Structure 1
Amino acid sequence: MNSAAASNAVRDAARAEGDHTGHTAGLDARDPPVIEVANLTKRYDDVLAIDDISFSVEQGTILGVLGPNGAGKTTLLKAMLGLLVPSSGTVHVCGIDVHADPQRAYRRVGATLEGARNVYWRLTVRENLAFFAGLAGESVRDPTVSARHDTLLDQLGLLDRADDVVNELSRGMKQKVALACALARDVDVAFLDEPTLGLDVESSVDLRRELRRLADERGLTVVLTSHDMSVVEDLCDRVLVVDHGHVVADDGVTTLVELFRTSAVRVVVDGPLSTTTERAIRADYTVESWETDGDRTRVLVALEDANDLPGLTAQFLADGGRLVSVNTVEPDLTEAFLELTGSGSSSRAGR
């Protein structure tokens, strides 16, 4: 299964189960947010890692946190989890101040950070789940807990490996175990750092579907980071884009994509293009990329008006070249993210 098929599979599953809006059916709209971040700031000497960030997250929402390297998103997540003390500001999870009462807050939260390194590789899969559930006072002797673990292992394709030592598993399997441990307790909020890292396409689709089900049916609130834009675009209700310690965007995926919607076409010409023609095209249009491979030229051009297409193609044919193809390119979350973080000029070049 390729990435396009994966995206379609998740979308089809979402349609089959009903549209998701970030709120679980039956929840009172007046219920307080599950997560409340207020004026959160963290300074390291002269470096301002996060600067006066505020937002809230409703129950059953899957929130994606995006940002380039060094943007402050890791600092933000660690501050939300109480793993570092902010310079100022507060974080409340389920109404509990994470920094004033971390033990109470931790009982409501599950997390997997930095891949699969937060599990014990010398324990079996099932023993890991029992250990992490036990941290909150849950015992696998309770039939409800053991049944939840079996269901989770089955849904993640781990049931037949439940008694294997984690160190003997593949990287993708270890990643699944890390996620299972984050959900081993009956938590209200899950913080997931790159949850699909190392997974094959089908496992990634299964994982997304399971997270969507937990959010929709059980009201699980999920905060995740991912460098895989297809995961965020398919799964998240909201996206928080962080850059230079500030929130530069906080909205639904569809809204962010529409915000930067500009028609673009990829033109492929078989034949040499003169310097004069290239200069004319660059002068009249916004060229996002220009690649020449032998006698074939591939150009990505942004068009504000679709009526400009005939004039554009005519310029490409001015040197007597043969038009091989003209294809429209639709914007997506990658486009929006790069525009928001100041790298929009190359956003569609590699597609």
Structure 2
Amino acid sequence: MFLPHQLVGNFFDRQFDRDIRRHFFKGMEFAAPAGDPGWFGPGSAVWHVHSHTQALVFGLQCAAFLERLDPSIYWMGVHHSRLVKPESRDDPMPQIDPKGALVRLGHSVAFFIGTAYGSTETAERLALAVRSMHHTIKGTRPDGARYDADDPEWLRWNYATVVWGLATAHELYHPNPLRGKELDRYYGEFVRVGHALGGTDLPTTKAETLDCLKSYLPRLAVTYGTAMATGPDLPLPQSALNWAVRDTMPPWAKGLIQHRDPIIVERTARRALVWSVINGIHVASGPVREFEQAKARVAGGLDPELAPHTVPTYQPGSDPVRSREDIEESFARA
């Protein structure tokens, strides 16, 4: 007989399978080869942080919100992703495509689960796919400024937004969060992903990451995308989620978006509510099956030829030249 929490867990697993796994996990391997630890392996801070899928998804939303404060990143998304409707990509007030936004989220979730505890080959293939897409993202903003997703300074700041978003969501909403030096261990480990995507001179601690983010402040602004996500008349539950995302922002970012923290009692109560929702879903659904497969894969006997974890092999400038059409076709075949 199924208990109520098992029924709820099965529901969320079926929903994840329908919306994410079957569309975005194609070609990803978690159960084999036996003994392959992947880029991180058991006992790593990354395995601990990324195994809480709901906090991971929330952290990606926090990172995306912060990224929108960079006009170049915002226009990269408008011009080169499915985030907005194709007919409005040159419109200064583009229309969000809800289905496209879900596709973008699906690819992001798959990437950060796959690189965390997928096999070494899976992590390498995912990083190559993202790098290949970045190589094609070059263009001009409506104000005439040019952007290039391979620009080292952009890669450094973009990396910082992601690792900060994931780590901050973990700090606030994981039932057993890493603190202090243990949290810095996550920052230090996760830099492997940044290097695999072509980043250089990346921050490796929480303090370095916050300094990196703030150093970009002279280049930032409230973009149209940010304004649409911070309005006072957003419907529920979007308004509650939006508050929780804005609540995580560094003080200087809160100043940009005119976000003011409520009194401590109200803020604590709001965070407690968000914590209950995120962890209620996690308790009901449990870790995604890929995490369990990864644990079984490594328990199958650590390959004596491998270290406790493998290391990304990418060398800057070594990628083949591929068109966007070729890249998307390879996704479809996976």
TM bin (shorter chain): under 0.3
Q: Which has the higher contact order (CA 8 A, sep 6+)?
A: 2
TM-score by length of 2: 0.26
Identify the structure with the greater helix proportion: 2
Q: Which one has a bigger Cα radius of gyration? A: 1
